[in-house]
Amino acid sequence: LMQLSVPLNFIGFVYREIRQGLTDIEQMFDLLEVEAEVVDRPGAAALSIDKGAIAFKDVHFHYDPDRPILKGVSFEVPAGKTVAVVGPSGAGKSTISRLLYRFYDVQEGSITIDGQDVRDVTQKSLRAVIGMVPQDTVLFNDTIAYNIRYGRPAASDAEIEQATEVAQIARFIKELPEGYNTKVGERGLKLSGGEKQRVAIARTVLKAPPILILDEATSALDTTTEHEIQSALDVVSKNRTTLVIAHRLSTVVNADEIIVLKGGEIAERGSHAVLLEQNGLYASMWNRQREATQAEERLRQVRESD
Ligand code: ATP
């Protein structure tokens, strides 16, 4: 029997690996709308993670040679700290997260994690230590539980529930008629952007990676949802090296450092307080956003009183 069960198990294993591999790749491409650009170097070693310190050194990058996107960007995310990247639309913020996850390689300069160039390590080992909460999470056509367990296949039901508590989505799930067994995705229950992002956060909580990339949803969220997501993220990013790609400024106030990207270069950097005091680009973005939020709130109050 042993002789038979080994190859059978092996076939099952290979089948699962292939199937999982395909869904991974499909999802990854859907998520970021990119094609496979990078391959492991022959004999690439696994990333050996110590504390998870990230360094971008003089990074130059373009998708199209005629249009440079990053023109010599250098910054560090010390182990356990949070750095936020902000800047006008199209400045290259999300590109920074794609380069760290190595969907593309830099053309000049380097990106290292604990001193190891991301180009020298296997992609598998790199992605194993990074939890990515993308702008728009594509969910599998399967149950909510499956979608969250994907972060760590061996997780128990209790751990999944715990992760959803942290991600502030537990109550929502429990109120669904089929709870955690509700089918979601294209062919199931359609979740809102904020709900999908919280499912992605729960998945990441379960994975518990040393490094976190949060690429905020660009779409406007209502204030309550935004607060819920923010407090979930605060818990998840605590003591983890975190890179926040921020499209809204409310989420970056507590970052250890804020990098203001403009025209492919770092225009300003510092804490929220320091940047406000400088009264430059960040301060004007902040004031503009605050006015917009206040106008929205007033509009909502008017609508509600009608
Ligand atoms: P936003 O705040 O609007 O999301 P961003 O700062 O995150 O913007 P990126 O997504 O990094 O901007 O894109 C930077 C620039 O690179 C944009 O002008 C974009 O059109 C271009 N770009 C992004 N992805 C690709 C791609 N796959 N191929 C070619 N150009 C791209």
The sign of the CA dihedral 36, 38, 40, 46 is negative
ipTM of the complex model: 0.96
Residue 35, helix vs strand vs coil: coil
Ligand 1 pocket test, candidate residues 37, 94, 243, most atoms within 8 A of CB: 94
For the segment 175-222, what is each residue's pLDDT rounded down to a tens digit?
999 999 999 987 888 888 888 888 999 999 999 999 999 888 666 667
Whole-structure pTM value: 0.82
CA nearest to 99, candidates 117, 86, 114, 115 = 117
Helix axes 193-207, 157-166, angle to 10 degrees: 120
pLDDT class of 238 with cuts at 50, 70, 90: confident
Pocket of ligand 1 (CB under 6 A): 34, 63-64, 69, 87, 89-95, 218, 247
Cα 95 to Cα 69: distance, rounded to the nearest angstrom: 8
Q: Half-sphere exposure of 128 toward its Cβ, with a 13 Å CA cutoff?
A: 9
Closest residue CA from atom 10 of ligand 1: 94
Q: Exposed, middle or buried, 6 (CB in 10 Å: 0-12/13-18/19+)?
A: exposed
Distance 305 CA to ligand 1 centre (A): 40
C-beta pairs of 282-286 under 8 Å, 24+ apart in sequence: 282/86, 282/258, 285/86, 285/88, 285/249, 285/260, 286/249
Distance 95 CA to ligand 1 centre (A): 6
Distance 280 CA to ligand 1 centre (A): 24
Q: Report pLDDT for 292.
A: 81
Tokens of 30: 């859907």
Bridge partners of 83, per DSSP, are 243, 257
Cα 214 to Cα 83: distance, rounded to the nearest angstrom: 10
| Interior angle at CA 80, CA 270 and CA 145, nearest 5 | 120
Ligand 1 atom closest to the CA of 98, numbered from 1: 11
122 has pLDDT over 70? yes
The label of the residue with tokens 């969220």 reads 221
Distance 62 CA to ligand 1 centre (A): 10
Q: Report pLDDT for 89.
A: 86
DSSP letter for each residue of 149-162? HTT-TT--HHHHHH
Distance 94 CA to ligand 1 centre (A): 7
In this prediction, residues 110-131 reach a mean pLDDT of 95
